[in-house]
Structure 1
Amino acid sequence: MKEKTVVTIHVLLLLAVLAVFIWSIIKPASYSSWVLEVTPAIIILIFVIVTYKKFRLTTLSYTIIAIMAILMFVGGHYTYSKVPLFNWLKDTFDFKRNHYDRFGHFIKGMFSIVIRELLLRKTALTKGNWLFWIVTSISLAISALYEIIEWISFIIGKGGKTAKNFLGNQGDIWDAQWDMALTIMGTIVTLLFLSKLHNWLLQKEL
């Protein structure tokens, strides 16, 4: 893939993310909830923009980061438990809850490709079973850390509306376990189906 084409794709991804970000910040359901929900995405975006020239990732990694950022911006705008499309799905199929949060955690498993790339390029690890399980373990660790952050935020916020929106368990006592399980599922599916494409892009783009 030509350098100019690759850069163009990266710029288009960034513009799409910025457009959703601008939309997201305009009259969200709650600005305090919005800040809690979108801060991780903003931090990651700033990092990849600042390091773009010194340490460019593959287009697949940037695409995944863009998708995750957009999901967080949408969730931040409405709050995860009130995203309209998933409210419609809830009503249409008689679900007990809005599943946007769980969908988001499954998609977050795609971040495993970014973890995989960092390990392949910055450590002595090579492709194979060890890489698969180490990436999966790191993905689970990040998911668990996020659940701990949600729990701490709930305690600090003393169970207020903002804290409840950020926690987003919708009355399910097993919500944290569901979130981590779905992230693991997303991670395994991603590694099984996208690793070959990722290997090809590592050779062609870097």
Structure 2
Amino acid sequence: MKYKKNSKIHIILFAIVIFVLLWSVIKPLDYLDWLAEVSPGVVIITILVLTYKKFRFTTLSYVIISFLCILTFIGGHYTYSEVPLFNWIKDEFDLKRNNYDRMGHFFKGFSAIVVRETLLRLTPLSKGAWLFGITTSIVLSIAALYEIIEWLSTKVSKGGKASKDFVGMQGDQWDAQWDMALAFIGCVIALLILSKWHNKFLKK
């Protein structure tokens, strides 16, 4: 009974994510930027669907993955530097930049729970300091890899508009460092706050 209930929740999450994906493709600000932004999310969704029967994550992990995909699809539709709500916040509080990108990288740190679950279920690692350290290292590695991909996109396109929208520096030379730092902070917070709750999901 519990298994079927969880499956229904997963289907609902999947439907919401697909709805946002379809919405995002309707007249995005820039189609090349949209493609660059949403591609990782689409690849992850495809892999999760294909492996769902063989390897099923906890509902907590699926909620985090769904939330991150939705953030990515919204960013792809508007570009990260032009999300309307955060433009309003920028103007209202006289900020120097649209901080949707900053928020997105912070919450990407919450993927630590998904990494944590994968390590617990597929490796000999057990709960403790080693799990915390290795999970954090993997999340930081992914964050750094993403920044390298952004950097390479500017080299390949020779600084075209789509690559600038994809990178989303908004004039900040330390943008990559900010992004990785926020992912690290999000990772640590997620592990400290959600690990015990995550353990309950794992037991089920």
- With structure 1 as the length reference, what TM-score do the two structures score? 0.98
- How many residues align? The count is 204
Shift in Å, 1:131: 0.4
Instruction: Name the counterpart of 2:184.
Output: 184
Instruction: Name the counterpart of 1:175.
Output: 175
Instruction: Name the counterpart of 1:40.
Output: 40
Instruction: Name the counterpart of 1:91.
Output: 91
Query: Partner amino acid for 1:174?
Result: W
CA distance in 2, matches of 1:170, 1:155: 17
Aligned-residue RMSD, C-alpha = 0.7
The C-alpha deviation readout for 1:73-130, integer Å capped at 9, x for no partner, is 0000000000000000000111100000000000000100010001000000000011
Query: Partner amino acid for 1:79?
Result: T
Q: Is 1:17 aligned to 2:17, yes or no?
A: yes
Q: Is 1:142 aligned to 2:165, yes or no?
A: no
CA distance in 2, matches of 1:186, 1:166: 21
- With structure 2 as the length reference, what TM-score do the two structures score? 0.99
Residues 49-198 of structure 1: matches in 2 within 5 Å? 49-198=49-198
Instruction: Name the counterpart of 1:2.
Output: 2
CA distance in 2, matches of 1:3, 1:160: 49
Give me the identity figure in percent: 59
CA distance in 2, matches of 1:132, 1:37: 29
Shift in Å, 1:4: 1.4
Query: Partner amino acid for 1:199?
Result: N
**Uncovered stretches (5+) of structure 2, i.e. residues with no partner:** none
CA distance in 2, matches of 1:130, 1:122: 15
**Uncovered stretches (5+) of structure 1, i.e. residues with no partner:** none
